[in-house]
Structure 1
């Protein structure tokens, strides 16, 4: 049986999308190559026709996740570039309950650091988040340091909310952080 000319490229993209989702949902270490490939109806050995190693996959899946996040963010914010709108989107119940579709930082950044494999893609994502926050704040304010604190609070609040068993506690973490960050935008 002959495959279409773009079969390998399509398969490569399927692996990337599935890995990006699983890494964000389950983490890098908890995502095995064999279960990943099996979920796609592919063999474990076939993985190496597409990637040199799991580390290679991690880097490319992180790029895929960032690209997906950028598309999603643009669609969800649709013209409202305010920092408050970004905060509402980032600390939404949907983002908490669907990590496979969200920002990779809460799940993947600590693992990349622990593995001794920080990524330029992580730096790029952090930079974009800082730019989004700074651009969405009222003009004339010193926003650089404030945006770093806000981004750290966003990621930390999402990590804590996802780890809370009690849904009311999880929502309280998100709500309180949203309110406090929005207050910070308007102060100083």
Structure 2
């Protein structure tokens, strides 16, 4: 059976989409190649027609996730958008309950750091977020404050996803959200 000329490109894109979602939702280690390919109706062997290794897939899927987030977050991160809007969006119940389409930092950075497999893409995302947040703050300590804000947002989201008690998870988000907004409004 002959495939259309763009079949390989479409299949490659499907693999990236699904891998990016699964890595953010389940983590890199918990995402096996065989279940990933099976979910797409593809064979495990077919994976190697698109990627040399899982490591290559991880890097490309992270890049894909980051590029997609830059587009979807543009309305929350632009220079005219207040920091409070980013804080509200990031520390929302929607973001908490949909890790597969959210920020990769809570899931992926913890896992890659623990495994000693840091990624330049993570560096890029952290630098980009820090620059964006610092640009919304005033004062000579804006970079230090941006580090505090980003660390608190990622940490609160990670913790809220890890607790079984729904009320506690919601409280982690809402308290961090309100504390960060109070801190940054006075800055």
Paired residue secondary structure (2:117): coil
Shift of 1:131: 1.5
Give the direction of change, closer, same or farther, for the CA distance of 1:76–1:82 in structure 2 (3 Å limit): closer
Question: 1:93 maps to what in 2?
Answer: 93
TM-score when normalising by structure 2: 0.95
Change (3 A) 1:109 1:124: same
Deviation string, structure 1 residues 108-162 (Cα, Å, up to 9, x no partner):
011111222211110110011112211222x345211010011000000001100
Distance 1:123 1:169 in 2: 30
Partners of 2:84 and 2:136 in 1: CA distance: 7
Counterpart of 1:110 in 2: which secondary structure? helix
Match of 1:82 in 2: 82
CA shift, 1:61, in A, is 0.5
8 Å CA contact 1:134–1:147 kept in 2: the answer is yes
Distance 2:78 2:132 in 1: 13
Structure 1: which 5+ residue stretches go unaligned? none
Q: In structure 1, what is the equivalent of residue 141 of structure 2? A: 142
CA distances 1:66-115 after superposition (whole Å, capped 9, x unpaired): 11111111145677521111111100110000000000010001111122
Give the TM-score of the pair, scaled to structure 1.
0.94
Aligned equivalents of 1:116 and 1:35: distance in 2?
Answer: 25
Gaps of 5+ in 2: none
2:87 alignment partner, SS class: helix
Structure 1 match to 2:161: 162
- Asked whether the equivalents of residues 82 and 133 of structure 1 are also in contact (C-alpha less than 8 Å), the reply is no
- 1:83-122 to structure 2, matched below 5 A, reads 83-122=83-122
- The residue aligned with 2:10 is 10
Aligned twin of 1:176: 175
Q: Report runs of 4+ in structure 1 exceeding 6 Å deviation.
A: none
